[in-house]
Each structure stands twice: as structure tokens, then as C-alpha cells.
């Protein structure tokens, strides 16, 4: 073991090594002089005296080495020498170095960038104290997946559970915020008292919302997100204590501001207290997300058992589905819950980008092998001069590790930009946006990857470069070694082709799925539709006496705007999630599930929803007339199979004061996609707004315009202001909405496709490189064949046959690997079988063609071989 003082001494020697070397030199010279004088004193002549002294002394350079060795400097010396040598030899081959660095920078940069996201999303703990104690709870039922929780169930949980120190419910929605400077729209999270106690994050300003804020007569409170506070209130600390209206217009008091790092739930702009007492809540109003902090000493498993016991009890108390869906509870740590959706995507991307890096490494390794051939002579001479095999091995490895380190450094710099690019490309909310700077883990990982990659690309050239037959080497290159190198080179090509095949198939199935998704008919017009989500404050719009005039007023104004062909309003965003409802069908036992939308009369025409049978709503269908409904095709086929649905009647207990009223089906319309293009249509029915006017506070205005959609927005805002100056709206376009639903798919497809394309290019370079090398090595043989009368076709076949084997093997292996991959990403596919023939065939063809193209140049070179020159060449 080195003691500290000794280590320091060594360091000092290292730092002052120039002087140290001079000192040693002088010391040795002094010795020789003293020795010379001694000989002189014995009577030798000066010349002989000095010669004798020098002879006795032996090799001064060797002694110098040994002296330095005594100070533990040899390993450092060797390293410095190896590195210096590596730099020299890399500079001697600038082309190779540039290509290698580019490949490594892109490969390592991509890997580190993806790892930065993996780290932030899956590895780093959430920014809460003791994050593994924070759980999220979902309800679940067979075949219904996991779903949010109802207020009554949440209240029962809170009362009955013995596992959680605190339990909180929250629901997120877009709301109108009203303060002295006018209305704004914001993403507001309505939280119950313990929300901030569960997460336990200190506020930036003021105080958090506390349980006492939730009693029915306490003033309601709101806490602002840091970004929102900056954006909307200019970061004014004076906002604390100010009143703000939210949603229904009731006054809230701003009590606090959260720190910038706090982003839960993702995208939240403000958190508002709420009162969940009273009995206006339905057990099937599944809107609440529930989080809780485990009591000390309670395990996740214990909590799960506890919560499931409660779920079983609740199911016994409220057995029917219309009362209570849930049969069990899911308890999962918040971190796992975050990672759940991203895991497959991130693992896929990380694997893909590492594959690309691997292909790049294979290329560099085989290029290294080929370079090694040209350096055989150099290595031979070194060996002859006494360099050991280990020494050569180290030298060759040092070169590649240096390459890896420089490439890694460039890659790390690149990764910072790449992460920004990924975040820009990714749909909002998909990736965590805070904490995407490289931390120690990312940097360490990048460094390890760089060294690992250096070793990986260096090991083959080093092994081959340091072992050979000396005579052959100095004499002019052994063919045996060349054959072995070629074999290794071709194995690398097969591996590259296999990996590229896997990536191309992966990219292919995603692209094909995307095409299928795009081909899906959303059931509504998407071009020229502008939407505006509007929430009327309940305080001023409590009844139909206020709501109906508002919508009449607004629609009238919008209808006359330039370019507007028609306009309407509906209770749910088109193509968005619709509220579920249980309806009773006349003549049938029990309740059935059917989505429900409230619309104005021109809704179907405006949205381009096709009328299949019967009629749409008419302005004359008011509350004095027979109540009517229009159902979609799926509903008609599901509940009245083989019958004419027109004239059939339905009703629903959930319809406020219309609960007992039968609604007669007057029309059947085409299906509209539920939530996204990818989901199946489901049974839905529409009700005319004048026949249920008490629920018109939250509607989406839809406008069909023939003009530019952007130019309509300011006019629309003006009309909205004229209808009510204190009602803001979120304006967007239908095509934008469709685009939003496609974003995640597009993101993954773009990334995987990009990686696959990169791998393809690398594989082509690899094939080209090995074939060039092999063809060059066989120039003489080809020359002889030409001289003996081989035709052009024969030579071409000879060259191409070499590549065909490895490429073929690679394609087959790759196809097998791809079959595994598509199963892994099956959940990302749409409308195609996992073993999608076009994707597999496409990848196969693309690779085969690329391989063929990569063979062209070496093949042409082979054809131009002049037998006379080739045979004489040696």
C-alpha cells in the first residue's frame, strides 16, 4: 500500500519531472567523472580512464529508466508514451479519425441523451421527501383496467384505511381564473386538504393549502405554480393574500407559490382547495386521482391488502355496476406509476440507440483490422526491437480508448443538444422536463460507455495487430493473417446487418402503424374546424335562463364572422373523451353503457358527421316538445341489432330533472372516434341542448371556416368578449387536436426510424469497407484469373459472392431478432400483425439493396484490375 506521503512525493516527482530527469542525468554524470578521476589517479591516460568509467557504468538510459522505476514512474511513463503514440498515429490517419470520431460522437451522444431521459424518468427518485413512501391509488375491475376514484369511495377510504398517514384526492381541469386584470384560462388542480402534506414539498412563498381550508365555511384557497406565477402575475409576491375567482366565480385567496421544481401533476398551474362534503357526489363519478403517504412501518403490500379489503367491503355494500364499478384497489408507488407509461418507450429507445452504437463499433473494429494490415510492418519492427506482445497490445488498445474518450467527450456535449431536441420533439407531458441536465450518473455512465466502446473497437485490432509471424510481417504481410482478418470482418458485417435489420423492422412496423392510424376515419371533419372550449361561471350561469341566451348570443355572432360556414356547440370536445352514462333502453332489463354528448342543432352539419337514418335535431325540438335523441351507428347496432332504432326510447337516471323522461331516437349518425384515432368507436348518443339546458356551462364551440383558421382566432375572441367579457376560452383547431393525439406515435416512430436509418448507413459503410479490403487483398488473384481468361461476370460473381454470405446470414439473424422485437412493442402497433409482411419485406429489400450498392465500388474496382500490374505488384 502506498502511504500518503509517498504518494505525494511521487506526485511531486511527476509534476517536476523535467527537473527530475535533469537531476538524475547530472547525478550519473558526476559518478562517471569521479570514476574517471579515480582511474586517472591510478595512472591511466585520460581517454582510457573515461572509457573505462563509462564501460563500468553500463547503459545510462537503462539506469535512468530504473531510477524512474524506483519512483514508481514507469506506468505513468508508459501511459504517456502510449497516449503520445496514439495521438501521433491518429493524426497520421485524419480521415479514419474523423469518421471514427463522428460515429462515436453520434452514437455515444445519442445513447447518453436517451439515458439522460431514462435517468430522469425511471431512475432518479421523485423530488419529494421519502418518495418511495408516496403511493398512488387506482380502482380496478375485471376487464375495465385501472380507473380514477369517486369522491364517496375516496371518503370511505380515508375513514377506513389503517395504512396511510395522509390520503388526498385531486382532479385536474382547465378553468377560468378571474382577477382584477381580467380572465385567464389555467390548468387547475382541485385538491383535498392533505395533498401538500402527502407530497411534503416546502412552498416557495406563503403557505400550502391545509386541511383547515376545506371546511365548508372556510375561505377557499389557491396555491400558484412557479411558472404560472411568473407568466401570469409577473412573479409579483404581492399576489399572496389577493382574491381570485376560479371556475364558478367563487372567490379564492392566493396563499402560496410552489417552487419551480414542483410539477405535480405534470403541467399543473394552480392548486385550489375544495369542499368534498355533502351528498351530491356519485359513486360512479370516477374523476379523482388519489395519492397517499404510507404510515411509518407499513409496507406497500400491507397497504394493498388493507385497501383491497375496503374495496371488497364497498363492493358488497354497493354491488351493482351502476353504483360502483370497482372491485379492487391498485396501490403503486408514485415513481413506478410515472415510469409505467414511459418504460417501454424509453427501454426501446435506449436499446435502439445502443444498437446503432454497436453497429458503429463493428464498423470501427473492422476498419481497425484493415488498418492493422497496413501497420503489420511497423508492428513487426517494433517486435524485432524488443517490444513485448503485451506492450503492443496496450499500445493498440490505448489508441482506441483515446478514440473512445474523445468521441465520448464530443458525444457528451452533443447529448445536451440532443436532449433538448428530444424534449422539443416529444409531445408535452411525455418526458419530464425538469432535471434533464446530466448528473453524476449520466456523466459516469457516459465515461464508462466511452472506455467500453474504446475497448470494444480496439480489442480485435489489438489482438490481431500484436500476434503474427515476425518474418512474414517484415517480409511483406502474411496472407494467413489477412484471411483470418477477413473472416472476422465478415462476422462483423453479419452482426451489423442483423442489428440494422432489427431496427429497420422496428421502424417499419411503427411507420406502417402510423400510416394505418392516419387512414382511420375520425368520423368528423378535421379541416377548417376551429374549436373554443368555454366554461361559464356557475354563479352567473346557474340556470337555463342564463345559459341558453348566452349560447344563442354567441352562436349568432360567430355565424356572421367572415369565412364561417356554420357553427355549433357540444358538451364534449370533438374526438375527445366523452362522459360515460348508464341508460335504460325501453323494453330491456337493466342499464347499458353509452357515451353522452349534448349538442346544438347544427353540430352534425358543422362537424361533418354523416346522418345515416332519420333526422338531426331541429330548432323546434325545445323542452315543450317530445324529448329526442340521436344515436351513433355503434349504439344502434349494439342495442337494437337487426331492428330499426328510430322510434325506440331511452332514459337515464343521471339526467337531473329529466331522469324519468323517455327520449325517442329520431336519427342515427356515423361513429366519431372516441379519444383518438386509434381507439374504437363506442356507443354514444346525443341530446339536443334545448332539451337539457341546465347543463350548458361547459361546452366547446365548433366553427367550420373556409378561411384561414389562424385569422379566425382574433375574430372569435372578439365575439366571445362581446357575448361575455369575463369568459375566456381555449382556442385550437381540429387538425391540431388530431395532431396532438398522433404526437406520441410520431415521436417514437421518428426516433426509431432515425436510429434505423443511421444504422443502415453505418452497415453500408461497413460492407463497403470490408469488401474493399478483401477485394484489394485479392487483387493479385483477380489479376491471375483475368489473365487466365475469366470474364467480367465471373469476376463480379466472385466479388459479390463474398458479401452475399455474411449479408444473408445477417438478414436471417436480424429477421429472427426483429420477430422478438415486434412482440416487445406489440402495444405500440396499430392495425397490423406483429409479423407485418410489408415491414419485414421492406427492411429485407432495403438492406439487400443497400448492401448491393455498397458492393458496387469495390466490384468495379475488381473489374478494372489490370492483370499485368496486379501480378507484378509484389
Partner 1 sequence: MAGPTPDLLQGTLDLLVLQTLIGGPMHGWGIAQRILDRSRSVLEVNQGSLYPALHRLEDRGWVAAEWGTSENNRRARFYRLTPAGKRRLALERAAWERYAEAVRDILKSPFVLPA
Asked if 28 touches partner 1 (CB under 8 A), the answer is yes
The residue among 641, 772, 25 whose CA lies nearest residue 369 is 772
Contacts of 51 (CB under 8 A, 6+ apart): none
Give whichever of 46 and 791 is closer to partner 1, judged by the CB atom.
46
Contacts of 767 (CB under 8 A, 6+ apart): 493, 496, 497, 803, 807, 850, 851, 854, 855
**Shortest Å distance, C-beta 48 to partner 1:** 19
CB-count exposure of residue 76 (10 Å: 0-12, 13-18, 19+): middle
Contact 702, 570 (CB under 8 A): yes
Measured N-to-C along each axis, helices 479-519 and 837-863 cross at an angle, to the nearest 10 degrees, of 140
Cis ω before 265 (30° cut-off from 0): yes
Bridge partners, 727 (sequence order): none
Using the rule CB under 8 A, give the single segment among 29-37, 117-125, 457-465, 820-828 that binds partner 1.
29-37
Question: Could you give the string, one character per residue 2-21, with x where binding to partner 1 holds by CB under 8 A and - elsewhere?
Answer: -x-xx--xx-----------
Q: Of residues 21, 23, 25, 556, which one binds partner 1 by CB under 8 A? A: 23
**Shortest Å distance, C-beta 56 to partner 1:** 7
**Shortest Å distance, C-beta 38 to partner 1:** 8
Measured distance CA(548)–CA(241) in Å, rounded = 36
The terminus-to-terminus CA distance of the chain in angstroms comes to: 56
Give whichever of 9 and 295 is closer to partner 1, judged by the CB atom.
9
CA dihedral of residues 617, 619, 624, 626 (deg, nearest 10) = -20
Map residue 596 onto helix, strand or coil: strand
Asked if 30 touches partner 1 (CB under 8 A), the answer is yes
Asked if 556 touches partner 1 (CB under 8 A), the answer is no
Contacts of 835 (CB under 8 A, 6+ apart): 819, 822
Contacts of 578 (CB under 8 A, 6+ apart): 572, 595, 596, 597, 674, 684
How many other C-beta atoms are found inside a 10 Å radius of the C-beta of residue 784?
A: 15
Q: Of residues 12, 21, 25, 33, which one binds partner 1 by CB under 8 A? A: 33
What are the φ/ψ torsions at residue 693 (nearest 5 degrees)? Answer: -75, -10
Contact 643, 650 (CB under 8 A): no
* Total residues binding partner 1 (CB under 8 A): 29
Contacts of 194 (CB under 8 A, 6+ apart): 166, 167, 168, 211
- For the chain, what's the residue count? 874
Using the rule CB under 8 A, give the single segment among 28-36, 202-210, 259-267, 795-803 that binds partner 1.
28-36
**Shortest Å distance, C-beta 498 to partner 1:** 53
Contact 164, 175 (CB under 8 A): no
**Shortest Å distance, C-beta 51 to partner 1:** 15
Give whichever of 72 and 736 is closer to partner 1, judged by the CB atom.
72
**Shortest Å distance, C-beta 65 to partner 1:** 9
Q: Of residues 14, 17, 37, 591, which one binds partner 1 by CB under 8 A? A: 37
Asked if 127 touches partner 1 (CB under 8 A), the answer is no
Give whichever of 26 and 552 is closer to partner 1, judged by the CB atom.
26
Measured distance CA(641)–CA(160) in Å, rounded = 45
Measured distance CA(127)–CA(12) in Å, rounded = 44
Contact 271, 189 (CB under 8 A): yes
**Shortest Å distance, C-beta 872 to partner 1:** 53
DSSP state letter for 216: T
**Shortest Å distance, C-beta 202 to partner 1:** 53
Contacts of 819 (CB under 8 A, 6+ apart): 834, 835
CB-count exposure of residue 466 (10 Å: 0-12, 13-18, 19+): buried
In the numeric block, which cell numbers belong to residue 569?
A: 356547440
Contacts of 782 (CB under 8 A, 6+ apart): 775, 795, 798, 862, 865, 870
Tell me the pairing of strands 270-273 and 182-191.
parallel
Within 50-79, the residues that bind partner 1 by CB under 8 A are 56-59, 62-63, 66-72
The residue among 497, 466, 468 whose CA lies nearest residue 482 is 468
**Shortest Å distance, C-beta 39 to partner 1:** 13
Bridge partners, 50 (sequence order): none
Asked if 251 touches partner 1 (CB under 8 A), the answer is no
Asked if 31 touches partner 1 (CB under 8 A), the answer is yes
Map residue 620 onto helix, strand or coil: coil
Within 784-823, the residues that bind partner 1 by CB under 8 A are none
Q: Of residues 21, 25, 27, 45, which one binds partner 1 by CB under 8 A? A: 27
In the numeric block, which cell numbers belong to residue 405?
A: 474518450
Give whichever of 28 and 787 is closer to partner 1, judged by the CB atom.
28
Question: Could you give the string, one character per residue 403-422, with x where binding to partner 1 holds by CB under 8 A and - elsewhere?
Answer: --------------------
Measured distance CA(116)–CA(415) in Å, rounded = 9
The residue among 668, 675, 593, 595 whose CA lies nearest residue 632 is 668
DSSP state letter for 224: E
CB-count exposure of residue 99 (10 Å: 0-12, 13-18, 19+): middle
Q: For binding to partner 1 (CB under 8 A), which residues are involved?
A: 3, 5-6, 9-10, 23-24, 26-28, 30-31, 33-35, 37, 56-59, 62-63, 66-72
Amino acid at each position: 500500500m502506498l502511504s500518503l506521503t509517498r504518494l505525494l512525493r511521487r506526485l511531486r516527482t511527476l509534476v517536476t519531472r523535467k527537473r527530475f530527469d535533469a537531476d538524475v542525468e547530472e547525478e550519473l554524470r558526476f559518478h562517471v567523472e569521479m570514476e574517471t578521476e579515480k582511474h586517472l589517479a591510478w595512472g591511466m591516460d585520460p581517454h582510457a580512464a573515461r572509457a573505462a568509467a563509462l564501460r563500468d557504468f553500463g547503459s545510462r538510459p537503462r539506469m535512468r529508466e530504473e531510477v524512474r522505476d524506483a519512483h514508481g514512474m514507469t506506468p505513468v511513463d508508459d501511459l504517456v508514451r502510449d497516449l503520445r503514440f496514439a495521438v501521433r498515429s491518429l493524426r497520421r490517419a485524419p480521415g479514419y479519425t474523423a469518421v471514427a470520431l463522428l460515429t462515436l460522437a453520434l452514437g455515444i451522444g445519442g445513447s447518453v441523451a436517451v439515458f439522460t431521459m431514462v435517468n430522469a424518468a425511471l431512475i432518479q427518485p421523485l423530488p419529494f421527501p421519502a418518495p418511495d413512501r408516496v403511493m398512488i391509488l387506482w380502482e380496478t375491475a375485471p376487464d375495465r383496467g385501472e380507473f380514477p376514484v369517486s369522491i364517496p369511495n375516496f371518503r370511505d377510504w380515508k375513514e377506513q384505511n389503517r395504512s396511510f398517514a395522509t390520503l388526498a384526492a385531486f382532479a385536474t381541469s382547465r378553468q377560468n381564473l378571474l382577477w382584477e386584470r381580467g380572465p385567464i384560462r389555467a390548468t387547475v388542480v382541485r385538491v383535498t386538504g392533505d395533498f401538500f402534506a402527502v407530497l411534503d414539498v416546502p412552498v416557495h412563498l406563503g403557505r400550502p393549502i391545509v386541511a383547515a381550508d376545506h371546511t365548508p365555511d372556510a375561505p377557499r384557497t389557491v396555491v400558484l405554480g412557479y411558472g404560472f406565477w411568473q407568466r401570469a402575475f409577473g412573479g409579483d409576491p404581492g399576489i399572496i393574500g389577493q382574491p381570485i375567482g376560479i371556475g364558478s366565480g367563487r372567490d379564492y385567496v392566493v396563499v402560496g407559490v410552489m417552487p419551480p421544481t414542483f410539477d405535480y401533476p405534470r403541467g399543473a398551474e394552480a392548486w385550489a382547495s375544495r369542499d368534498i362534503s355533502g351528498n351530491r357526489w356519485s359513486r360512479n363519478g370516477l374523476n379523482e386521482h388519489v395519492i397517499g403517504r404510507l404510515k411509518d412501518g407499513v409496507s406497500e403490500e400491507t397497504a394493498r391488502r388493507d385497501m383491497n379489503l375496503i374495496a371488497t367491503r364497498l363492493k358488497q355494500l354497493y354491488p351493482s355496476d351502476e353504483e360502483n364499478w370497482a372491485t379492487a384497489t391498485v396501490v403503486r408507488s408514485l415513481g413506478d406509476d410515472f415510469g409505467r407509461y414511459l418504460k417501454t418507450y424509453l427501454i426501446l429507445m435506449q436499446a435502439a440507440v445502443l444498437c446503432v452504437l454497436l453497429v458503429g463499433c463493428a464498423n470501427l473494429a473492422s476498419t481497425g483490422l484493415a488498418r492493422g494490415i497496413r501497420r503489420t510492418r511497423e508492428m513487426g519492427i517494433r517486435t524485432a526491437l524488443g517490444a513485448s506482445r503485451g506492450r503492443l497490445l496496450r499500445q493498440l488498445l490505448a489508441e482506441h480508448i483515446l478514440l473512445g474518450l474523445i468521441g465520448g467527450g464530443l458525444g457528451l456535449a452533443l447529448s445536451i443538444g440532443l436532449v433538448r431536441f428530444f424534449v422539443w420533439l416529444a409531445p408535452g407531458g411525455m418526458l419530464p422536463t425538469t432535471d434533464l441536465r446530466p448528473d453524476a450518473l449520466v456523466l459516469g455512465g457516459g465515461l464508462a460507455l466511452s472506455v467500453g466502446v474504446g475497448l470494444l473497437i480496439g480489442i480485435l485490432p489489438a489482438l490481431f495487430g500484436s500476434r503474427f509471424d515476425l518474418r512474414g510481417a517484415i517480409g511483406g504481410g502474411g496472407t494467413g493473417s489477412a484471411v483470418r482478418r477477413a473472416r472476422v470482418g465478415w462476422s462483423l458485417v453479419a452482426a451489423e446487418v442483423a442489428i440494422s435489420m432489427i431496427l429497420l423492422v422496428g421502424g417499419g412496423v411503427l411507420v406502417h402503424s402510423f400510416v394505418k392510424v392516419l387512414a382511420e376515419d375520425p368520423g368528423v371533419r378535421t379541416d377548417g374546424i376551429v374549436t373554443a372550449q368555454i366554461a361559464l361561471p356557475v354563479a352567473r350561469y346557474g340556470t337555463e335562463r342564463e345559459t341558453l341566451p348566452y349560447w344563442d348570443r354567441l352562436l349568432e355572432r360567430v355565424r356572421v364572422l367572415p369565412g364561417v360556414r356554420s357553427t355549433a356547440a357540444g358538451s364534449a370536445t370533438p374526438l375527445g373523451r366523452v362522459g360515460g352514462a348508464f341508460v335504460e333502453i325501453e323494453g330491456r332489463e337493466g342499464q347499458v353503457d353509452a357515451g353522452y354528448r349534448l349538442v346544438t342543432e347544427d353540430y352534425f352539419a358543422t362537424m361533418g358527421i354523416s346522418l345515416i337514418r332519420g333526422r338531426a335535431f331541429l330548432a323546434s325540438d325545445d323542452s315543450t316538445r317530445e324529448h329526442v335523441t340521436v344515436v351513433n351507428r355503434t349504439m344502434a347496432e349494439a342495442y337494437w341489432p337487426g331492428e330499426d332504432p328510430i322510434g325506440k326510447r331511452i332514459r337515464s337516471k343521471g339526467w337531473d330533472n329529466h331522469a324519468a323522461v323517455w327520449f325517442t331516437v329520431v336519427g342515427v349518425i356515423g361513429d366519431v372516434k372516441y379519444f383518438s384515432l386509434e381507439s374504437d368507436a363506442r356507443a354514444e348518443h346525443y341530446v339536443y341542448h334545448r332539451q337539457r339546458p341546465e347543463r350548458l356551462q361547459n361546452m366547446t364551440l365548433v366553427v367550420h371556416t373556409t378561411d384561414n383558421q389562424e385569422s379566425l382566432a382574433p375574430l372569435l375572441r372578439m365575439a366571445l368578449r362581446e357575448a361575455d367579457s369575463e369568459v375566456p376560452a381555449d382556442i385550437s383547431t381540429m387538425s391540431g387536436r388530431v395532431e396532438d393525439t398522433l404526437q406520441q406515435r410520431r415521436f417514437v416512430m421518428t426516433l426509431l426510424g432515425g436510429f434505423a436509418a443511421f444504422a443502415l448507413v453505418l452497415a453500408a459503410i461497413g460492407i463497403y469497407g470490408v469488401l474493399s479490403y478483401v477485394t484489394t487483398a485479392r487483387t493479385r488473384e483477380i489479376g491471375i484469373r483475368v489473365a487466365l481468361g475469366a470474364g467480367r461476370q465471373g469476376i463480379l460473381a466472385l466479388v459479390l459472392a463474398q458479401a452475399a454470405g455474411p449479408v444473408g446470414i445477417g438478414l436471417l439473424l436480424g429477421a429472427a431478432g426483429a420477430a422478438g422485437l415486434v412482440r416487445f412493442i406489440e402495444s405500440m402497433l396499430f392495425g397490423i400483425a406483429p409479423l407485418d409482411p410489408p415491414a419485414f419485406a421492406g427492411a429485407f429489400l432495403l438492406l439487400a439493396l443497400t448492401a448491393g450498392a455498397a458492393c458496387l465500388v469495390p466490384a468495379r474496382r475488381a473489374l478494372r484490375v489490370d492483370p499485368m500490374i496486379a501480378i507484378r505488384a509484389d
